[in-house]
Amino acid sequence: MEKLREVGKPVTRVDAYDKVTGRAMFADDLCPKPCLEAKVLHSTIGNGVVKSIDASEAREVPGVVGVYTCFDVPDTPYPVAGHPWYADTRSGKRDVMDRKLLDARVRIYGDNIAAVVAEDSVACDRALAKIKVEYEEWPVVYDPVESLKGTGHPVQDRCPDNLVAHTCAVTSEEDLARNGYKSVDEALNDPSYHHFRAHLETAEQSQVHIETCVSYCYMESDKIVCVSSTQIPHIVRRVIGQALGIPWGDVRVVKPYIGGGFGTKQDVHFEPLNAWLCTQIGGRCVKLEVSREELFYATSGRQPKTFDVEASVGDDMRLRARSILAYSNTGGYVHHGHALVLNSVNSFRWLYHTNEVASRSEAYTVYTNGPHTGAMRAYGVPEGNWAAECLMGDIAHDMGWDGVEFRMKNAIREGFVDEFTPGGVIRAHTCALPECVEKGRRYIGWDDLKARYAQEEGPVRHGVGVSLFVYKTAVAPFALETATAALTLNQDGSVQLQMGATEIGQGADTVFCQMAAEAIGIDTEDVHITSFQDTDVTPYDSGAYASRQTYVSGTAVKKTGETLRRKILEYARFLHPDAQGELDLVDHAIVDVVGNKVCALPELALEAYYNMEHNDQLHAHETIQVHTNAIAVGCTFAEVTVDMPLGKVTVDRIINVQDNGRLINPKLVEQQVHGGMAQSIGFGLYEELQVDPKTGRVLNPTLLDYKMPTMMDVPDLEAQFVETDDPTGPYGNKAVGETPIISPAAAIRDAILDATGVKFYQEPMTPQRLFEGFKREGLI
Amino acid sequence: MEKLREVGKPVTRVDAYDKVTGRAMFADDLCPKPCLEAKVLHSTIGNGVVKSIDASEAREVPGVVGVYTCFDVPDTPYPVAGHPWYADTRSGKRDVMDRKLLDARVRIYGDNIAAVVAEDSVACDRALAKIKVEYEEWPVVYDPVESLKGTGHPVQDRCPDNLVAHTCAVTSEEDLARNGYKSVDEALNDPSYHHFRAHLETAEQSQVHIETCVSYCYMESDKIVCVSSTQIPHIVRRVIGQALGIPWGDVRVVKPYIGGGFGTKQDVHFEPLNAWLCTQIGGRCVKLEVSREELFYATSGRQPKTFDVEASVGDDMRLRARSILAYSNTGGYVHHGHALVLNSVNSFRWLYHTNEVASRSEAYTVYTNGPHTGAMRAYGVPEGNWAAECLMGDIAHDMGWDGVEFRMKNAIREGFVDEFTPGGVIRAHTCALPECVEKGRRYIGWDDLKARYAQEEGPVRHGVGVSLFVYKTAVAPFALETATAALTLNQDGSVQLQMGATEIGQGADTVFCQMAAEAIGIDTEDVHITSFQDTDVTPYDSGAYASRQTYVSGTAVKKTGETLRRKILEYARFLHPDAQGELDLVDHAIVDVVGNKVCALPELALEAYYNMEHNDQLHAHETIQVHTNAIAVGCTFAEVTVDMPLGKVTVDRIINVQDNGRLINPKLVEQQVHGGMAQSIGFGLYEELQVDPKTGRVLNPTLLDYKMPTMMDVPDLEAQFVETDDPTGPYGNKAVGETPIISPAAAIRDAILDATGVKFYQEPMTPQRLFEGFKREGLI
């Protein structure tokens, strides 16, 4: 790969000093104090309707400014998902509108039915306790398959059968016939091949970011201003406008630094209610801060899913046919809806593909009375990967094949084209999966460990496992990918960069600065970035999700940088009409065609501001649209110790080796991978939002009861890379942010299988489940 | 004049609701509390040096964070004036750098010699009281003529003779010879003509805005952020950079709503010190709020000046020769320096011009140990107008001429060209002065009153007076005039306007919205303006001064609006390739060449954001440079009651009639004129910063002792207009903001002369001075 000037450097993140010293400002830091506070009354039933609310006593609590119930708010449904919007109403791409600010129809336990505004949070709590609610209660349905059988009262009137969506992509009859089959099932059950099947389950994982969801709203001039801890300020603007029924231009959203999001903040949970409450009290500033407990049950976690997977495979290790049937439990509201499970079944299919022989990916998304679900890091892909890799692990184990060799025989590789997915064609322009796997295999000492642990006996055993992953960068070609960036040349020759894309802890600001510097021809330290978004002045971008920012928003940065560079050179030509040949910008200086320095960039910048004859504040503002995709791939190798009587798995060593295209900033990518690996260890072994299926109530909405890995549970995390130069990404990059959360869980599962021979299908593999599994198999 | 869509409408100011309800945010509202506070130690001598400072006891005061003296700060001189900067160091246009953050060389009483940072203002005050300073004290010189004779220690080392600048523009020898003269003095004393002379004085007026100077600074990312109550955020950015010796791009200045400026806040008084103090305490937020008392002596008022004026005039009422000699007392520092007195002598010359016969305008600006001086509304012009109109009043009175007729015989008129001013040619493209004067004369009933009051006797008399004015809009062609604006189309078809030009209470935001709406073809209410400037994201503009914003920044708005309109129509063409003929934007809709609606603007806007094939966040960002000028003119007519024994003048009726070109918003212009007239009544009758010439100490730095007119002292103020359509201004506008402060004082002086026959030459005409004058003339 060509060496670049700024891209590829492990520069220190631009927000490091502020965040380490504590001077970085988050929403609550910025909120003027004292301010009014708002709190929400949540339903204590899981299904039914609010018949009446008596708030008279609550209104008498000292300090209470107002109590607002589901009978006071506008009866306007709106969508909450952080998805692009669509101009064309016929596209069918607009998100479902099934939320209201407050709703008398209770669909889930903890639904929002009233709100209090008071002078402090104590007064809020006292008032909440005094609100009397009369319900009509109906039975709760939590299982999606049960829900599809019909409920007396549909969860949402728009879906009488509770079915949000059902899709099924099947190999065409022509392709089936070409291989001698009439159906996928026939291919799966072809007696010439070995047939495998499994039923799998994945739980609702919670994002558990440090900063909860918090916003504050006030009115200013002709606008409602909402300062929010969000990943998607421009979408928050739209949704507030939609929910309140006001022009979107009358809403201004500001996003300061945020303490993590991982997808929670890709939904617009409470900002519209906060904004509406503000309008009810004359525009006074009111803050709505979600508690840690509410975060678990009143915002959205990873959709729980079940999978039935099947495959047939030949003695040559080649997969012949594959099928996946998924049920996704969206809870009482759609939020991100069917897109999540589509990501699961697509990534299942892409990783090991038999599309042209026999493939079926079928998915249901179902309304139930379960808790909210929505986006979480990797957005359905870890679940699909769990399904794909459990099955591959089983096959390798049962056939006595080497798991690495078997996987690599069937895995996605460079040049892969998938025309199978409705909505667009996917291509792997680059794919260093073989190199990644080889690197990981060597690092972990695959063959040695396999041999060493093969004959272990006794209650404590060791194993080694592998899992591959595939992740399609961003949402194109299935959905709109657009981004805008703006750059201005300062008087001192530095530039100011403005992005609608958001820094949410992942390091986006730093890589944007590097890419801008690269495009212009200056040092990264000469790029200042405006980290806070303010929809009034920030270029449009849909925000942080789908590992889209470096790829999509980075394309906007690159184009904008190139435009600014061109404008600088044009202005240099005005200043130096006699300079020889084509001008260039090299090392902060304008040089002529033979490389002689014409002037320094700071000199030019001063002229651009203050030249008495012709000046121009040099500025570039570019919108781009991305129609391509890029496929990031990689693998995890894990070595574990399994204490069967204790039901305890210790991850001793673990490595992710990834092809994320060109690494814009290797240090930041490594940090991303560390975080994702830890979160995947949580996904595989610990994390599960437990729901009482009878009431729909979340049983463990606290950090005491919701178990996530701490530093004590996570070994040293090894991250290595094989760089490729993807032709579609700006400076060759592909997705990074979500990729490391995909494969570790399945690799641990594979290592447990290796250690014990026991197949686990339900994630997380908690001590209870492990213990039961080992007992069932007679190992303890 | 052609009727326009939005320009010319008396729309309500866009900040009205926020300012009336108190929800508008000013610097101190925004400052996070609690924050550190900084206060400055001012010298208690008027000339000398600080030999030593003992701050040991001050540092022990509880709550004190740090004490910093003139021996601690960088030894870096910097300029403080709100002037454009210049790329070309050879232009000689860069402002003098003669200030330091703190300075051991004490030049004025109250100079800044140390600063305290503490946890609250009480701790600051206690610490200030404990700082011990040892001075070497030198004699104070306050009179500029005395100062020019030389002082033992020059006020500034750069000027051993204390002369900041001396200029003299004289009619060329050829022109003099053509009229038969060898010199201007010969023309003045030509015995064929009547010769008049006078010596005049104008005092230092203080701006007395409601909000004092306040800023707070903190560090964020790689920047020092300064939130300041300023008229000139982009210049504050530059000056902080210069003063601290850091790249300007490392400074971010935010300007919220401000409570008036009138020129005080066109200087960068304390922001650099505030920023530097912030850097000394690890970037913690520290606020520096100037007290009302400090505002009088530690910021800058109107330069006190003396004038010697002469004229010769023929029996035909035609002026033959004119001369003005001005001395301006800049105090210990240059600040705006010679530009102020140049404005005085230029406006003297332009109003009644004899340049081509015999004219001389000579001016000195002199360093003394007097208090700071700088910009104040109309920037030297009221003083020059006082000089011009006192002389004209004297001539008319002594010659028994009608003051209106005499003035109009000689006044500036349309087509006036002045090539006499070094640095550029001035033209009056439009000039409705005759119509203005006729309107004012009729309103006041000039002839009737003249007749009615002619024969009055006794201690209380009445009179009527007139004064004309001329004001050149903005600073071109003598200095750089540039402005940038940005406009973005929102999803709802509204637009967001960003200006570097500042709302300082004058209504700028509102007229910018009107002009943007006009240029685009939408309603003013569909233009949202970002009122707060933030130099990181706000287009460059030098700010609010010289009545430049509607004229210069308005040119940028118009161009930017036209560019956005063009981009909208180009995008409409993409959406509707088959639409007939050239497209147009009319009433929020795209129409084809025959006027049929193609689509609504909000529909187009949604496509521009979300079209899946080609989208573009439509945005325009345009820098303009203005080389033209426009001449605003007008007059004041005043009727007064003079109680001679009490030395009391009551303004009974007063009217300004002005030609400000086309009025963008008649309601706002009327409000501007009311404010200016009241301030000119203060200038003429009440306001004077009194200085002890022996010590240089300001004797009346409080609102108890500094007398300004209140509602009780000001009659109903009548403002009328004669509109012209100036070809140079955007939508035909010319200066408004400063024009009404120019002529009322001299009209009152003229009315007193009419009532009593007594000529007053010293402004303000306080009861003491009036009493002494009437006594001297034997009237009491």
Instruction: State pLDDT tens for residues A588-631.
Output: 999 999 999 999 999 999 999 999 999 999 999 999 999 999 99
Q: Is A170 exposed, middle or buried (0-12, 13-18, 19+ CB in 10 A)?
A: middle
Contacts of A15 in chain B (CB under 8 A): 221
Rounded to an integer, what distance in angstroms lies between the CA atom of residue A129 and that of residue A58?
8
Omega of the bond prior to A422 within 30 degrees of 0, cis?
A: no
Neighbouring C-alpha atoms within 13 Å toward the C-beta of B431: 25
Number of H-type helices and E-type strands within chain B: 21, 34
Contact B227, B25 (CB under 8 A): no
Q: Pick from B674, B749, B684, B683: which is nearest to B715 by CA?
A: B674
The string of pLDDT tens digits covering residues A418-437 is 988 888 899 999 999 999 99
Give the minimum alpha-carbon distance from B503 to chain A in angstroms, rounded to a whole number: 13
Angle between helix axes A666-685 and A744-756 (nearest 10 degrees) is: 50
Contact between B23 and A218 using a beta-carbon 8 Å cutoff: yes
Contacts of A25 in chain B (CB under 8 A): 220
Give the minimum alpha-carbon distance from A563 to chain B in angstroms, rounded to a whole number: 14
Say what the ipTM of the complex is. 0.96
**How many CB atoms are closer than 10 A to CB B121?**
16
* 3 state SS of B740: helix
Contact between A223 and B528 using a beta-carbon 8 Å cutoff: yes
Contacts of A625 in chain B (CB under 8 A): 614-615
Question: What pTM does this model have?
Answer: 0.97
Instruction: Nearest chain A residue to B612 by CA: give it.
Output: A480
* Nearest CB to A490 within list B220, B249, B611: B249
CA distances from B5 to A114, A499, B352 (A): 46, 35, 37
Rounded to an integer, what distance in angstroms lies between the CA atom of residue B384 and that of residue B746?
10
Mean pLDDT of A734-751: 98
Phi, psi angle pair for A620, to nearest 5°:
-130, 140
Q: Are strands A631-643 and A460-472 parallel, antiparallel or unpaired?
A: antiparallel
Contacts of A538 in chain B (CB under 8 A): 537
The string of pLDDT tens digits covering residues A465-484 is 999 999 999 999 999 999 99
Omega of the bond prior to A62 within 30 degrees of 0, cis?
A: no
**How many CB atoms are closer than 10 A to CB B387?**
31
Contacts of A486 in chain B (CB under 8 A): 619
Q: Which helix (H) or strand (E) holds B269?
A: none
Contacts of B603 in chain A (CB under 8 A): 87
Say if residue A374's pLDDT is above 90: yes
Interface test with A, best of B86, B234, B490 (most A CBs within 10 A): B490
- CA A330 centroid distance within chain: 16
Contact B609, B615 (CB under 8 A): yes
Rounded to an integer, what distance in angstroms lies between the CA atom of residue B173 and that of residue B186?
12
Give the minimum alpha-carbon distance from B679 to chain A in angstroms, rounded to a whole number: 29
Give the minimum alpha-carbon distance from A677 to chain B in angstroms, rounded to a whole number: 29
Contact A17, A510 (CB under 8 A): no
Rounded to an integer, what distance in angstroms lies between the CA atom of residue B422 and that of residue B687?
33
Edge to edge, the sheet with strand B132-137 lists B105-106, B48-54, B132-137
Contacts of A23 in chain B (CB under 8 A): 218-220, 283
Q: Are strands B319-331 and B359-367 parallel, antiparallel or unpaired?
A: parallel
Contacts of A493 in chain B (CB under 8 A): 249
The string of pLDDT tens digits covering residues A285-338 is 999 999 999 999 999 999 999 999 999 999 999 999 999 999 999 999 999 989
Interface test with B, best of A612, A624, A626 (most B CBs within 10 A): A612
The pLDDT of residue B90: 79
Edge to edge, the sheet with strand B163-170 lists B163-170, B359-367, B319-331, B305-313, B194-202, B762-763
Give the minimum alpha-carbon distance from B247 to chain A in angstroms, rounded to a whole number: 6
Contacts of B221 in chain A (CB under 8 A): 14-15, 17-18, 528-529, 531
Q: Which helix (H) or strand (E) holds B473?
A: none
CA dihedral angle for residue A49, residue A54, residue A60, residue A66, rounded to 10 degrees? 40
Contacts of A513 in chain B (CB under 8 A): none
Q: Look up residue A255 and give its two tokens.
A: 């996003």
Q: What is the CA radius of gyration of chain B?
A: 27
Contact between B14 and A222 using a beta-carbon 8 Å cutoff: yes
Rounded to an integer, what distance in angstroms lies between the CA atom of residue B491 and that of residue A235?
11
Q: Is B62 exposed, middle or buried (0-12, 13-18, 19+ CB in 10 A)?
A: exposed
Interface test with A, best of B35, B90, B574, B610 (most A CBs within 10 A): B610
The pLDDT of residue A420: 85
- CA B85 centroid distance within chain: 18
Q: Look up residue B234 and give its two tokens.
A: 């982009």
* Nearest CB to B530 within list A32, A531, A536: A536
Rounded to an integer, what distance in angstroms lies between the CA atom of residue A639 and that of residue B172?
97
Q: Pick from B665, B677, B661: which is nearest to B719 by CA?
A: B677
Give the minimum alpha-carbon distance from B420 to chain A in angstroms, rounded to a whole number: 21
What is the residue whose two structure tokens read 């180009």? B570
Q: Is A55 exposed, middle or buried (0-12, 13-18, 19+ CB in 10 A)?
A: buried
Number of CB pairs < 8 Å for A and B?
173
Contact A520, A550 (CB under 8 A): no
Contact between B610 and A223 using a beta-carbon 8 Å cutoff: no
The pLDDT of residue A26: 97
Instruction: Nearest chain A residue to B20 by CA: give it.
Output: A221
What is the residue whose two structure tokens read 């573009």? B616
Instruction: Nearest chain A residue to B33 by CA: give it.
Output: A33
| Residues in chain B with pLDDT values less than 50 | none
CA distances from B263 to A619, B296, B300, B682 (A): 30, 13, 8, 16
Residue partners of A197: CB distance under 8 A and separation at least 6: A308, A309, A310, A311
* Nearest CB to A248 within list B484, B492, B495: B492
Domains of chain B: 28-138+213-289 (3.90.1170.50), 301-476+628-776 (3.30.365.10), 482-625 (3.30.365.10)
Interface test with B, best of A18, A21, A475, A488 (most B CBs within 10 A): A488
Q: Which helix (H) or strand (E) holds B450?
A: helix B446-453
CA distances from B118 to A504, A630, B63, B66 (A): 35, 56, 5, 7
DSSP bridge partners of A471: A632
Give the minimum alpha-carbon distance from A495 to chain B in angstroms, rounded to a whole number: 8
Contact B555, B624 (CB under 8 A): yes
Contact between B238 and A491 using a beta-carbon 8 Å cutoff: yes
Contacts of A87 in chain B (CB under 8 A): 603, 606-607, 609-611
Q: Pick from B426, B211, B396, B217: which is nearest to B319 by CA?
A: B396
Contact between B492 and A606 using a beta-carbon 8 Å cutoff: no
* Nearest CB to B528 within list A241, A249, A529: A249
Contact between A87 and B609 using a beta-carbon 8 Å cutoff: yes
Q: At B346, which amino acid appears?
A: N
- Scanning A299-445, the segments in alpha helix (DSSP H) are 338-351, 381-399, 403-410, 433-444
DSSP bridge partners of B288: B38, B215
Q: At B722, which amino acid appears?
A: V
Residue partners of A699: CB distance under 8 A and separation at least 6: A690, A691, A692, A705
The pLDDT of residue B423: 84
Residue partners of A766: CB distance under 8 A and separation at least 6: A647, A685, A686, A688, A707
Contact between B23 and A220 using a beta-carbon 8 Å cutoff: yes
Mean pLDDT of A657-681: 98
Rounded to an integer, what distance in angstroms lies between the CA atom of residue B380 and that of residue A587?
47
The pLDDT of residue B681: 98
Interface test with A, best of B26, B495, B536 (most A CBs within 10 A): B536
Instruction: Nearest chain B residue to A509 by CA: give it.
Output: B221
The pLDDT of residue B337: 86
Contact between B617 and A539 using a beta-carbon 8 Å cutoff: yes
Residue partners of A463: CB distance under 8 A and separation at least 6: A453, A639, A640, A642, A750, A751, A752, A753, A754, A755, A756
The DSSP code for B11 is P
Contact between A496 and B536 using a beta-carbon 8 Å cutoff: yes
The pLDDT of residue B320: 97
Give percent above pLDDT 70 in chain A: 100
Contacts of A18 in chain B (CB under 8 A): 220-221
DSSP bridge partners of B64: B118
What is the residue whose two structure tokens read 């996570």? A714
